Amino acid sequence: MTAVETQITYSNSYTIQHEEAYMIQEDDWDRDLLLDPAWEKQQRKTFTAWCNSHLRKAGTQIENIEEDFRNGLKLMLLLEVISGERLPKPDKGKMRFHKIANVNKALDFICSKGVKLVSIGAEEIVDGNVKMTLGMIWTIILRFAIQDISVEETSAKEGLLLWCQRKTAPYRNVNVQNFHISWKDGLALCALIHRHRPDLIDYSKLRKDDPIGNLNTAFEVAEKFLDIPKMLDAEDIVNTPKPDEKAIMTYVSCFYHAFAGAEQAETAANRICKVLAVNQENEKLMEEYEKLASELLEWIRRTIPWLENRVSEQTMRAMQQKLEDFRDYRRVHKPPRVQEKCQLEINFNTLQTKLRLSNRPAFMPSEGKMVSDIANAWKGLEQVEKGYEEWLLTEIRRLERVDHLAEKFKQKCSMHEAWTAGKEDLLSQKDYETASLMEIRALMRKHEAFESDLAAHQDRVEQIAAIAQELNELDYHDAASVNARCQGICDQWDNLGTLTQKRRDALERVEKLWETIDQLYLEFAKRAAPFNNWMDGAMEDLQDMFIVHSIEEIQSLITAHDQFKATLPEADKERVATLGIHNEILKIAQTYGIKLSGINPYTTITSQDITTKWDTVKHLVPLRDQMLQEEVARQQANERLRRQFAAQANIIGPWIQTKMEEISHVSVDISGSLEEQMNSLKQYEQNIINYKSNIDKLEGDHQLSQESLIFDNKHTNYSMEHIRVGWEQLLTTIARTINEVENQILTRDAKGISQEQLNEFRASFNHFDRKRNGMMDPDDFRACLISMGYDLGEVEFARIMTLVDANNTGVVTFQAFIDFMTRETAETDTAEQVMASFRILASDKNYITVDELRRELPPEQAEYCISRMTRYIGADGPSGALDYISFSSALYGESDL
């Protein structure tokens, strides 16, 4: 016995739990079961093999189960091996009472473990009673091999059966309902092996009609690879109508214990995979946020310089192309970025919610990529964008005015240059030196008429100078040529003034030498010159280009034109009077036989000139009427565009505001469930999407207005910019509100909040949401907490604010409020739980190896851990060992535990 004792090295301790719940010993052992010889044969073989599987650990075995336990020595040794405890020292004598004493020591030990022995005494064992010996061994198997099996709060037989059902559920032709006939075809045993060691059996090649082959395959594989001895005979099981339940249970329990370690490792691996999957998903969301934020900020960075470029084009066409490019930007390029910005905020909120629900630290984006940073950049973009559009419209108006002035400048310059052509040469002549007295007088009067004409043209020169100055002020691109031409006209005008004065002085010196010349010529010249100048001005006015922006402005021009037409009768009288002077000259000449040269010495204006110009004026009047009426028609068309745009804008603007208010009402409504709110919001979202065609139609009308150079509209307070901003806010609001409800559902389901609790939270939040904008300021939040029973000091309230307002925005959202109110009830993984799971995979070591990670975890999760775990620095670890303790802590943002 001493040699045997030295081989027992087990030190495992065993704590009995739930002793009262231990399986009740069967009272009918010898009444039914052993009456069947087939069952007795199966039990004898199975129990013998089971005992030997433990006795061989002590270097011995039994051959005959009823004979080899009679002296009690191997029975005591068996109990020591399977319990890991020492029994009292056996009696060494060979007498019957020595054997009975040893058997009693074994039976007393069994009873000390909470087992009630029924009808089993030491004398029957010593006498070799087969059925009592088998009953005792079954009792030992129940106590030490089956009792501790527990699955979902069931134990012993029920637990072992449930374990078998769970493991074989996926396999065809397997339906484990008991521990007898469910195992006859051998498929259940093969399924158990394949489930845990698929490398040992090709289950797809097994046939239900080959039970003996299946059973022998299972027995051989279990004995060779799983160290489970062959305890049954395939032929006995197949040929027995109902195999012995105890034999089957004994054999199957060996599989449970063989795979128990794998089960524990599988559970630990599943927990780790779950945690790593959450972490990988969160990291993917973080990477997507960083990528999307970078792209959006880069787009804003590239776009702002384009919008800040205020270099004006030189032509109206080029500036209108800039306006068209800006329209493309607003209609094509910006809307997807609006959606990206909204999606970015939604992704950020969803990520923060997932991190809170999985007990991870809050996500802090890279510097400059916070939601607030993006919002500020977006705000800056919109400010520059608004300024750019205003600048474009101002520049288009300026270029319109510039083009008009430039054309007007050219027209007036051409008329003035045509009038001054040859005047310098004329003033430089010295014809008076050889002229007769009459000719001198004529030259004097002619010069006076010229001075009158010169003075009449002073206004035109001043107009030319004024137009040139305005073109310079409006930054006309060809201002240099305008200035040069204007300067030439001014210099020439000054020279004409000088020459005029010199000629007058010369004529006055000889004026006393000349007689009075024909007053009629002089009177004709004096009356013809201003009338001619009036006709020139009339023709100029009738041909004058104009630019108007409203019906009122064109009506003003029509009124002025009507006033001009009212002066035509008086002008006609002047024409008749002036032509009457000429006719009188002809009459006198004819009467007195004077031969006229046909040239008025005082003016170059002839009666034919007056008649021709008068006919021209009468011809231009109806043309002017037509131009004004065409402009009236254009302005009326513009007015229709204004009213058409206003009619839609006055509907769309209030519609957007109403939808904003309705969405706000749905988001704070507590009468229905979150799913009902979600359905309502989804319906609003679809209605909004369907309404987009109205916005597009309004954009088309707005484009028509801009193409018609309409920049104001007194019929509506809604500009296209207002509609665009309101529409973008509506899209953002509905998307953000849907995301908030989704996060509330996610929070409710993750934390087990009832709809009634959520409604109570919503009612409290709504009561203290003074501004009804879905947010509470810190004072209202404090009042809300106090109303719900919180006793808050300054330090505690400051701590709570860091939880509900991590980004220091100065407000508390409903989602943050719910997270705070429910954070204590969350059932989440912890760093300690993950660490404990890794410790199981590492076999209780403080480190884990690469091979262990790759063996226990799926490839993706294994490589994830390997890439992130730091090297283990302890002296007890091999080269390449990894530190799973600090890795577990880092997953939850904690310091090393």
Fold entry, domain 831-890: Recoverin; domain 1 (1.10.238)
Instruction: Say if residue 655's pLDDT is above 90.
Output: yes
The CA distance from 487 to 495, in Å, is 12
Phi/psi at 848 (5° precision): -140, 145
User: For 240-288, how does the pLDDT look when each residue is reduced to its tens digit (9 = 90+)?
Assistant: 888 888 888 888 888 888 887 666 666 777 778 778 888 888 888 888 8
The CA distance from 554 to 556, in Å, is 5
Confidence of residue 772 (pLDDT cuts 50, 70, 90): low
Instruction: Say if residue 18's pLDDT is above 70.
Output: no
Confidence of residue 510 (pLDDT cuts 50, 70, 90): low
Instruction: Say if residue 193's pLDDT is above 80.
Output: yes
Are 824 and 358 within 8 A, CB to CB?
no
Q: What is the pLDDT of residue 622?
A: 92
Q: What is the pLDDT of residue 101?
A: 87
Instruction: Say if residue 216's pLDDT is above 90.
Output: yes
When the pLDDT of each residue in the chain is averaged and rounded to a whole number, the result is 81
Q: What is the pLDDT of residue 366?
A: 85
> Taking residues 882-889, what's their average pLDDT?
89
Confidence of residue 211 (pLDDT cuts 50, 70, 90): very high
For domain 405-513, give the CATH number: 1.20.58.60
> Taking residues 848-852, what's their average pLDDT?
90
The CA distance from 802 to 888, in Å, is 25
8: nearest Cα among 79, 73, 57: 57
Q: For residues 2 and 697, which has the higher predicted lDDT (pLDDT)?
A: 697
Q: What is the 3-class SS of 19-34, one letter each residue? A: HHHCCCCCCCCCCCHH
Instruction: Say if residue 882's pLDDT is above 90.
Output: yes
Measured CA distances, 861 to 271, 273, 355, 438, 896 (Å): 11, 6, 19, 122, 22
Instruction: Say if residue 155's pLDDT is above 80.
Output: no
Q: For residues 408 and 514, which has the higher predicted lDDT (pLDDT)?
A: 408
Superfamily assignment of 38-262 in CATH?
Calponin-like domain (1.10.418.10)
Q: Would you list the domain boundaries of the chain?
A: 38-262, 282-402, 405-513, 831-890
Least confident of 8-12, 126-130, 579-583: 8-12
Share of the chain above pLDDT 90, in %: 7
Q: What is the pLDDT of residue 22?
A: 31
Instruction: Say if residue 8's pLDDT is above 70.
Output: no
Q: For residues 125 and 147, which has the higher predicted lDDT (pLDDT)?
A: 125
Q: What is the pLDDT of residue 848?
A: 92
Instruction: Say if residue 876's pLDDT is above 60.
Output: yes
> Taking residues 669-695, what's their average pLDDT?
83
Report the run of H or E that residue 813 belongs to, with start and end: strand 812-813
The CA distance from 468 to 447, in Å, is 30
Confidence of residue 690 (pLDDT cuts 50, 70, 90): very high
User: For 511-531, how does the pLDDT look when each residue is reduced to its tens digit (9 = 90+)?
Assistant: 654 443 357 777 878 888 898
Are 818 and 747 within 8 A, CB to CB?
yes
- Number of residues that this document lists for the chain: 897
90: nearest Cα among 69, 116, 66, 111: 69
- Widest Cα–Cα separation across the chain: 194
Q: For residues 825 and 603, which has the higher predicted lDDT (pLDDT)?
A: 603
Q: What is the pLDDT of residue 515?
A: 44
HSE-CB of 652 using CA atoms within 13 angstroms:
29
Domain 282-402 identical in fold to domain 405-513: yes
Q: Which CATH class is domain 282-402?
A: mainly alpha
The DSSP line for 78-145 is HHHHHH--PPPPPP---SHHHHHHHHHHHHHHHHHTT----S--HHHHHTT-HHHHHHHHHHHHIIII
SS3 content of the chain, % helix, strand, coil (to 5): 70, 0, 25
SS3 208: coil
The CA distance from 790 to 533, in Å, is 95
Instruction: Say if residue 311's pLDDT is above 60.
Output: yes
Instruction: Say if residue 26's pLDDT is above 60.
Output: no
According to DSSP H, which parts of 457-478 are helical? 458-473
364: nearest Cα among 276, 277, 289: 289
Phi/psi at 812 (5° precision): -120, 120
Alpha carbon distance, N-terminus to C-terminus of the chain: 49
> Taking residues 832-846, what's their average pLDDT?
86
